[in-house]
């Protein structure tokens, strides 16, 4: 065999060996997050966990709503019921009650609650229900009351949105944050002034409020046919 033939045979053999060489079995995936990305993911997880675990109490609620209302520009909520929809506008100078209502709306608290108390030609009261889901939502959000804020010049005119007092031992008439009532009386129910906190008014759909007030009621002013708040949503 000539020298050229030997060299050519050697080159072919080398190419064959290189081409058949096994590929690494554990090649690193290009989609694996970097160490920086891993830290960011861990940080987001911690923040999410803290937010999910946050519960309002008597001790932290005022401070929380004080901070919450600072940059709060939204002041309208659309309430869609089983009998139609109406829109309420919240008063800016009653900041804690406004912030509370917006916060609960964004948390989805009012969804699937009911107008559980209806007094003819007086009020409709919502934010409660005779199911297990509503007290469960309250436990998850927290147990707290709001101080009355009755000296901002607002009266209980027809269409006024106000907050009832807690039914517990409550000499200072602290407000029950999960419920609200709307005045139906013409021109208003002014005997409520000074005892309860008006924090908004109906600006659209008062005919729906009247329709709810016309529902037949049974013992304890509970409507004979449930009137549901299907959805409450903050609008521009």
Q: Does a structural domain hold residue 34?
A: no
Round to the nearest angstrom and report the end-to-end CA distance of the chain.
92
Query: What is the reported pLDDT for 201?
Result: 98
Q: Does a structural domain hold residue 16?
A: no
> Is the model's pLDDT at 20 over the cut of 80?
no
Query: Alpha-carbon distance 229 to 17, whole Å?
Result: 75
The model carries a pTM of 0.77
DSSP secondary structure string, 84-123?
EEEEEEE-TTSHHHHHHHHHHHHTTTTTTEEEEEEETTTE
Tens of pLDDT, residue by residue over 60-112, are 999 999 999 999 999 999 999 999 999 999 999 999 999 999 999 999 999 99
Tens of pLDDT, residue by residue over 182-218, are 999 999 999 999 999 999 999 999 999 999 999 999 9
Q: How confident is the model at residue 236 (pLDDT cuts 50, 70, 90)?
A: confident
Query: What is the reported pLDDT for 172?
Result: 62
Name residue, tokens 């080398």: 14
Q: Does a structural domain hold residue 76?
A: yes
Q: How confident is the model at residue 36 (pLDDT cuts 50, 70, 90)?
A: low
Name residue, tokens 């554990």: 26
Query: What is the reported pLDDT for 204?
Result: 98
Query: Alpha-carbon distance 217 to 163, whole Å?
Result: 21
How many residues in total does the chain contain?
Answer: 236
Q: Does a structural domain hold residue 87?
A: yes
Instruction: Write the CATH number for 140.
Output: 2.40.100.10
Tens of pLDDT, residue by residue over 167-176, are 655 556 678 8
Q: Does a structural domain hold residue 43?
A: no
User: Does the CA dihedral 134-144-159-213 come out positive or negative?
Assistant: positive
Q: Does a structural domain hold residue 75?
A: yes
Query: What is the reported pLDDT for 32?
Result: 59
CA 98 to chain CA centroid, nearest Å: 13
The residue range of the domain holding 72 is 61-235
Q: Does a structural domain hold residue 144?
A: yes
Tens of pLDDT, residue by residue over 110-155, are 999 999 999 999 999 999 999 999 999 999 999 999 999 999 999 9
Number of domains in the chain: 1
Q: Does a structural domain hold residue 183?
A: yes
Tens of pLDDT, residue by residue over 155-167, are 999 999 999 986 6
């Amino acid at each position: 065999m000539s020298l050229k033939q030997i060299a050519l045979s050697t080159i072919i053999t080398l190419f064959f060996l290189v081409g058949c060489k096994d590929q690494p079995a554990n090649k690193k995936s290009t989609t694996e997050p970097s160490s920086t990305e891993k830290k960011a993911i861990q940080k987001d997880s911690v923040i999410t966990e803290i937010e999910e675990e946050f519960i309002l109490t008597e001790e932290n609620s005022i401070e929380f709503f004080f901070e919450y209302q600072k940059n709060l520009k939204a002041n309208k909520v659309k309430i869609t019921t089983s009998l139609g929809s109406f829109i309420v506008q919240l008063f800016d100078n009653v900041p804690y009650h406004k912030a509370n209502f917006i916060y609960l709306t964004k948390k989805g608290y009012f969804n699937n609650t009911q107008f559980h108390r209806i007094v003819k030609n007086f009020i409709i009261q919502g934010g409660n229900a005779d199911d297990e889901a509503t007290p469960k939502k309250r436990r998850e959000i927290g147990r707290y009351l709001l101080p009355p804020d009755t000296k901002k010049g607002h009266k209980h005119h027809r269409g006024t949105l106000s907050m009832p007092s807690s039914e517990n031992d409550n000499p200072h008439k602290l407000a029950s944050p999960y419920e609200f009532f709307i005045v139906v009386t013409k021109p208003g129910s002014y005997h409520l002034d000074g005892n309860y906190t008006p924090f908004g008014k109906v600006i659209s759909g008062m005919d729906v409020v009247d329709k709810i007030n016309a529902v037949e009621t049974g013992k304890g002013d509970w409507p004979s046919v449930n009137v549901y708040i299907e959805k409450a949503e903050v609008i521009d």
